[in-house]
């Protein structure tokens, strides 16, 4: 039996990955390490929490001693590292959390893996899940390739870039078997409603203003979260040590076009007149340092490891909207309490 530690498994992408691994690999022991910050939610994993091959441990990756004691006890064969502070706006208002969790936390995991594997690291793997934001911002043309120079421009992306560099450095200097992937914007179920798609679905449903940053001209490349989880599975098992793989959907949308599409779909689903939800659009002060465009060239992953995205965007977006409409209780539970204060700080003064 293999033991795989997944960090950040109670978050958005992590919970999809835990579900995939617990169901697909009954012979693996999946240990989910998560601090349960505002973004971590065990309700995301209700359907697998009693599975015999699954275990949850509440731990902060910044706590080096605790992390080492877990690694020492479980002797994992693989680590898939997703735990992070992940929201760009929060990194602008409070960069330090990002530096602790994303940089120091990653270093602690690398040190713990190095200590327990020593020079017997054959067949082991440290997989670091990263973002396309490390490459900076594109103009109208071009794509991020694995060879694109790093140019992070927000505290979030700078902290992720630092962690990528650390993972590569440990691979190079200490022969720690590692692999990195850099993915574009994910969408789907269980995403915390601070991110564009779930935030706007929730606001449309509740007839609340839709705060579009700047002119809504920024472009993102959207990928269904389950396709990201599938890519991680393939790279974890078949990727080459020391390599990097870009993951993306070839699916670029300006924010405003995406928001208009969401409004039209939701008018239909909520029985509103066409155009009614669009009236909620409200242009607000732009995000500081707002990256204009992200677009991923995922041809390496497609050619070498035969991964392709499975869902057309319109179909995925409909499915996603349906999920949030059907899971009102999940949304209401996380938008009570602290979320209200976050929302006020982030949007009321904009
Ligand atoms: P998320 O914010 O939904 O989840 C992050 C999880 O990490 C939460 O469960 C949280 O409790 C946990 N966590 C945070 N700090 C921790 C700490 N100090 N110790 C232990 N656990 C901690 O994030 P997400 O959107 O699921 O992203 C997961 C990973 O994927 C991140 O590394 C992110 O950079 C990367 N990524 C995200 C996207 C995206 O579109 N969401 C795209 C590409 C890459
Ligand atoms: O590209 C991958 C990255 O995608 C991940 O690494 C990050 O963890 C993830 O949060 C995401 O970053 P973005 O900043 O692109 O996602 P967000 O959902 O915050 O914003 C998407 C776009 O929508 C962006 O151009 C900002 C804009 N936006 C966002 C919010 C929350 C608005 O116009 N209004 C909003 O209220």
Q: What is the mean predicted confidence (pLDDT) over 337-345? A: 90
Q: What is the pLDDT of residue 297?
A: 98
CA 286 to each of CA 146, 211, 212, 291, 346: distance values in angstroms, whole numbers, following the listed order = 29, 10, 8, 11, 12
**Average pLDDT in the chain:** 97
- Name which residue sits closest to atom 11 of ligand 2, judged by CA: 185
Q: Please tell me the number of the ligand nearest to residue 208's CA.
A: 2
Residue 11 Cβ inside 6 Å of ligand 1? The answer reads yes
Residues 261-308 have pLDDT tens digits of 999 999 999 999 999 999 999 999 999 999 999 999 999 999 999 999
Domain containing residue 107: CATH number: 3.40.50.720
Q: What is the pLDDT of residue 78?
A: 98
Q: What is the Å distance from ligand 1's center to 12 Cα?
A: 7
d(C-alpha 233, C-alpha 170), whole Å: 22
- For the chain, the domain total comes to 1
Q: What is the pLDDT of residue 156?
A: 98
Q: What is the pLDDT of residue 350?
A: 75
Q: Please report whether residue 15 resides in a domain.
A: yes
Q: What is the mean predicted confidence (pLDDT) over 88-96? A: 97
Q: How many Cβ atoms from other residues are within 10 Å of residue 255's Cβ?
A: 18
Residue 337 has pLDDT above 80, yes or no: yes
pLDDT band for position 31 (cuts 50, 70, 90): very high
d(C-alpha 68, C-alpha 73), whole Å: 8
As a whole number of angstroms, the longest Cα–Cα distance in the chain is: 65
Q: What is the pLDDT of residue 256?
A: 98
Query: Which residues span the domain enclosing 176?
Result: 2-191+223-250+292-311
Residues 71-90 have pLDDT tens digits of 999 999 999 999 999 999 99
Stated pTM of the model? 0.98
> Lowest-confidence range among 174-183, 253-262, 319-328, 334-343?
334-343
Q: Please report whether residue 277 resides in a domain.
A: no
Residue % of the chain over a pLDDT of 90: 96
Looking from the CA of residue 195, the nearest atom of ligand 2 is 18
Residue 255 Cβ inside 6 Å of ligand 2? The answer reads yes
Catalytic residue among 54, 127, 156, 294: 156
Looking from the CA of residue 13, the nearest atom of ligand 1 is 26
- Name which residue sits closest to atom 16 of ligand 2, judged by CA: 195
**132 tagged catalytic:** yes
Residue 336 has pLDDT above 90, yes or no: no
Q: Please report whether residue 318 resides in a domain.
A: no
Please provide the distance, in angstroms rounded to a whole number, between the alpha carbons at the two ends of the chain. 52
- Name which residue sits closest to atom 33 of ligand 1, judged by CA: 86
Q: What is the pLDDT of residue 195?
A: 98
CA 88 to each of CA 54, 218, 251, 291, 306: distance values in angstroms, whole numbers, following the listed order = 31, 14, 21, 10, 31
Residues 159-180 have pLDDT tens digits of 999 999 999 999 999 999 999 9
Q: Please report whether residue 326 resides in a domain.
A: no
d(C-alpha 28, C-alpha 71), whole Å: 16
Q: What is the Å distance from ligand 2's center to 83 Cα?
A: 18
Residue 223 has pLDDT above 80, yes or no: yes
Handedness of CA 315, 317, 318, 319 (dihedral sign): positive
Q: What is the pLDDT of residue 22?
A: 98
Catalytic residue among 34, 132, 146, 226: 132
Q: Please report whether residue 264 resides in a domain.
A: no
């Amino acid at each position: 039996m293999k033991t795989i530690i997944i960090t950040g498994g109670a978050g958005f992408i992590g919970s999809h990955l835990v579900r995939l691994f617990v169901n697909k690999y009954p012979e693996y022991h999946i240990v989910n390490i998560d601090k349960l910050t505002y973004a971590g939610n065990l309700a995301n994993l209700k359907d697998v929490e009693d599975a015999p091959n699954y275990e949850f441990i509440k731990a902060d990756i910044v706590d080096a001693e605790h992390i080492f004691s877990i690694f020492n006890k479980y002797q994992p064969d693989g680590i898939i590292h997703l735990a992070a502070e992940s929201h760009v706006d929060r990194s602008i208002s409070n960069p330090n959390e990002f530096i602790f969790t994303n940089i120091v936390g990653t270093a602690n995991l690398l040190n713990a893996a190095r200590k327990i594997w020593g020079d017997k690291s054959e067949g082991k793997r440290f997989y670091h899940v990263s973002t396309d934001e490390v490459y900076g911002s594109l103009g109208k043309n071009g794509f991020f390739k694995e060879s694109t120079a790093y140019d992070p421009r927000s505290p979030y992306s700078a902290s992720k870039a630092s962690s990528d560099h650390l993972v590569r450095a440990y691979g190079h200097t200490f022969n720690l078997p590692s692999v990195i992937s850099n993915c574009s914007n994910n969408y789907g179920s269980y995403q915390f409603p601070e991110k564009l798609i779930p935030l706007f679905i929730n606001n449309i449903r509740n007839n609340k203003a839709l705060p579009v940053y700047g002119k809504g001209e920024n472009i993102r490349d959207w990928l269904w979260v389950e396709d990201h989880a599938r890519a991680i599975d393939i790279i974890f098992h078949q990727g080459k040590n020391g390599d990097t793989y870009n993951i993306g959907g070839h699916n670029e949308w300006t924010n405003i076009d995406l928001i208009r599409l969401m409004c039209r779909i939701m008018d239909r689903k909520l029985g509103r007149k066409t155009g009614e939800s669009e009236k909620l659009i409200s242009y607000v002060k732009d995000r500081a340092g707002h990256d204009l465009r992200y677009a991923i060239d995922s041809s390496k992953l497609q050619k070498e490891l035969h991964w392709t995205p499975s869902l057309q965007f319109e179909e995925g977006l409909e499915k996603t909207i349906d999920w949030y409409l059907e899971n009102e209780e999940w949304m209401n539970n996380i938008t009570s309490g602290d979320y209200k204060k976050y929302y006020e700080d982030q949007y009321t003064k904009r």
